[in-house]
Amino acid sequence: MRPVYIVGIGQTPVGEQWERSLRHIAHDAVIPALRDAGVERVDALYVGNMLSGELVGQEHVGALVADFVGLRGIEAYKIEAACGSGGAALRTGYMAVAGGLHDVVVVAGVEKMTDTIGKDTTAGLAMAADQEFEAAEGVSFVALNALLMRRYMYEFDVPHAAFGHFAVNAHHNAAGNPNAMFKSPISLETYRKATMIADPINLMDSSPICDGAAAVVLASEPVARALRNGRRPVRIAASSVGTDSLAVHDRRDPMKLEAAWISSHKAYQQAGVTIDDIDLFELHDAFTIMAALSLEACGYAERGRGVWLAEEGEITIEGRVPVATMGGLKA
């Protein structure tokens, strides 16, 4: 496998982009990434997206975006893996370059979620659950995470207020990110007084519905060297994927994110590092319970201790394992 480098990046602000369609939002990330890399053409485009068909009524997004950004004719696909669609697209682009199929590709992640009413968006997100045994019974992602949080609180004797440190940290970090949706810090008091959504999950435990996109240009070592222009490209040290049973009730232990454990430990081995070598950890904090479980699954905290890692300040920018450094999914 060949080394793969990130040679260009692009990102849109995250928020309610009423004036921009799905293709426009993707364009606003892909074009800056191409310009940042100093390239006009690439071999392929991989677009990570979960909900274009359900919320926008648009499939064939790879070809759509390729044409709209001036790359008509290239290989282009939409990659879907629920909330991990962007990461899956990056993985696909990485494999294409690492395997020698292509020398330079662009990878984008884009969602347009605010053009539908809340119940339709919630139903769309629930498509990532087991339709036959979860969604058909009326279970939403919020409800599933509420069940996990309630079990965590019971099993490890954790008060709900302890999860507030994840939300406070995310909003604090978002205040320094010009592309973040919520740039105002919140307090633990704000967290405690937040509206209940699905007991015990409240509004401040939850990530928002929003629009946005990000893109990266990936290149082989010879291309990255030629494009350097005085800058140092970033080598992708490792890339790995894991899966688990889709339905929560089918998992051997609902309190262990098996897929996160598999993928993270494979990546550590591939990169030849331990968690002590890692400077920051960007986790999937769609809900605060996911932040705690992710820290535990990836080896940063013992079982039932992820939430206390947050309370002790270890997840802040100055802490041992900074998370949500740009605001995360939460902000």
With 0-12 CB in 10 A as exposed, 13-18 as middle and 19+ as buried, what is 189?
exposed
Q: In this structure, what token pair is assigned to residue 97? A: 């370059």
Can you give the pLDDT at residue 167?
99
Residue type, 63: A
Count of C-beta atoms within a 10 Å radius of residue 124: 17
- Which of 1.10.600.10, 3.40.50.300, 3.40.47.10, 1.10.3720.10 is the CATH number of 139-206+239-311? 3.40.47.10
Can you give the pLDDT at residue 113?
97
Can you give the pLDDT at residue 330?
97
> 4-114+210-235 with 139-206+239-311: one CATH topology?
yes
Can you give the pLDDT at residue 230?
75
Can you give the pLDDT at residue 118?
87
Handedness of CA 202, 259, 329, 275 (dihedral sign): positive
Note whether 76 and 107 are within 8 A (CB): no
Residue type, 142: V
Phi, psi of 152 (to 5 degrees): -60, -45
Note whether 107 and 46 are within 8 A (CB): yes
- Please give the distance of CA 15 from its chain centroid, rounded to a whole number: 15
User: How do the domains of the chain map onto residue ranges?
Assistant: 4-114+210-235, 139-206+239-311
Please tell me the class of the 4-114+210-235 domain. Answer: alpha beta
Q: In this structure, what token pair is assigned to residue 174? A: 């978002």
Note whether 326 and 177 are within 8 A (CB): yes
Instruction: Locate all alpha helices (DSSP H) within the chain, ordered by sequence.
Output: 22-37, 61-68, 85-98, 118-125, 141-156, 164-174, 188-192, 221-226, 258-271, 288-297, 306-311
- 7 to 46, 217, 276, 317: CA distances (angstroms): 16, 6, 27, 26
In the block, residue with structure tokens 């490890």: 156
Say whether 122 sits in a helix, a strand or coil.
helix
pTM of the complete model beyond 0.85 = yes
Distance (Å, rounded) from C-alpha 51 to C-alpha 211? Answer: 11
In the block, residue with structure tokens 């009326």: 138
Can you give the pLDDT at residue 136?
86
Task: Give pLDDT tens digits along the chain (331 positions).
Answer: 999 999 999 999 999 999 999 999 999 999 999 999 999 999 999 999 999 999 999 999 999 999 999 999 999 999 999 999 999 999 999 999 999 999 999 999 999 999 999 889 999 999 999 999 998 888 899 999 999 999 999 999 999 999 999 999 999 999 999 999 999 999 999 999 999 999 999 999 999 999 999 999 999 999 999 997 778 899 999 999 999 999 999 999 999 999 999 999 999 999 999 999 999 999 999 999 999 999 999 999 999 999 999 999 999 999 999 999 999 999 9
Note whether 141 and 128 are within 8 A (CB): yes
Q: What size, in residues, is the chain?
A: 331
Distance (Å, rounded) from C-alpha 53 to C-alpha 78? Answer: 11
**Cα angle: 78, vertex 139, 250; to 5 degrees:** 80
Can you give the pLDDT at residue 138?
87
Phi, psi of 164 (to 5 degrees): -60, -25
Note whether 206 and 142 are within 8 A (CB): yes
Distance (Å, rounded) from C-alpha 49 to C-alpha 213? Answer: 10
Can you give the pLDDT at residue 137?
87
Interacting residues of 55 by C-beta distance below 8 A, sequence separation 6+: 112, 113, 115, 116, 120, 121, 124
Angle between helices 164-174 and 288-297 (to 10 degrees): 100
Say whether 110 sits in a helix, a strand or coil.
strand
